[in-house]
Amino acid sequence: MRTRLLITPFALLALLGVARAGHAQDVGGPNEQIQPGDYLRLSGGIVSPVSAKGSLRDWKSGAGFAVAWESWPGSASGVGRAGFAITAAYNLLPLDEARFISEFTPSSGGTTTSATASRAGILEVTTNVKIRIPTPLVVPMVNIGLGLIDWHPGTIHYQSTTGSGTARQQHRTGLEFSIGAGIDRTIVDRFALFGEAAYVFGYTSYGGGFTSPGGVCTAGGCDVLRNTTIVTARAGLRTRIGR
């Protein structure tokens, strides 16, 4: 399913590129889906760890939200093919209790029997280059981002055969690179609907796994030298701001 989140937008890009060959349209004309100027995007969707290593494996797919400002420059023919954006996103991942129980051994010994936790948070702040492909009815885009990612796992409360305790995984911050694709469709005046998906690689490999209360991980579960890799899929509303 995670793979399909990325494959679908790229497949649509290819199909729409072929359809473009059979239609003539002036870039920046009155029916253009995007006009020069500034836009605001609000979106929500799902985020899922992919090829997760270390402590990231202890968290499941969750909800994600994003807000973005973007700007498209004018050109001699109307609007440029590339735009610029600044995006802030926040994602919430619930604990994968079954996986945590199977991999965590309390420092007091015994076997972990149950666990609960507040959701882990992933904050992303990125600058993006958007490359659009002009088509008559929708606007496919390729989106490349670079910025900051902040991984903040929730505190885990566990029960074991020797008692109860808490475990806190390490908070990590690093650089992020993302690449993805999306499709926009104007619905009325300055408003449009859009969907997008992206693969995110966060360079957070200086993390150190569980830092309290001194528990150890079985089966190589600690996350020394691990990065944060996720897939996001969101849909939302785009609106033109200003004139």
Task: Tell me the pairing of strands 210-212 and 163-169.
Answer: antiparallel
Among candidate residues 227, 116, 220, 213, the one with its CA nearest the CA of residue 169? 213
Between CA 157 and CA 167 the distance in angstroms is 7
pLDDT of residue 206: 53
Q: How many residues does the chain have?
A: 243
Per-residue pLDDT 10s for the chain (243 aa) are 444 444 444 444 443 343 333 333 334 444 467 888 999 999 999 999 988 777 788 899 999 999 999 999 987 777 889 999 999 999 999 999 998 888 888 877 888 999 999 999 999 999 999 999 888 889 999 999 999 999 888 889 999 988 888 888 878 889 999 999 999 999 988 899 999 999 999 987 654 444 444 444 444 445 444 788 999 999 999 999 976
| C-alpha of 1 from chain center | 15
What tokens appear for 220 in the block? 């190589």
pLDDT of residue 11: 44
Query: What fold characterizes domain 2-241?
Result: Porin (2.40.160)
Contact 192, 237 (CB under 8 A): yes
pLDDT of residue 32: 63
Task: Tell me the pairing of strands 120-132 and 82-93.
Answer: antiparallel
Predicted TM-score of the model (pTM): 0.78
What tokens appear for 196 in the block? 């997008």
Query: Kindly report the CA angle at 164 between 161 and 166, in degrees rounded to 5?
Result: 130
Residue 79's alpha-carbon distances to 152, 187, 217, 222, 237, in angstroms, are 40, 19, 54, 50, 20
Q: Name the DSSP class of 95.
A: B
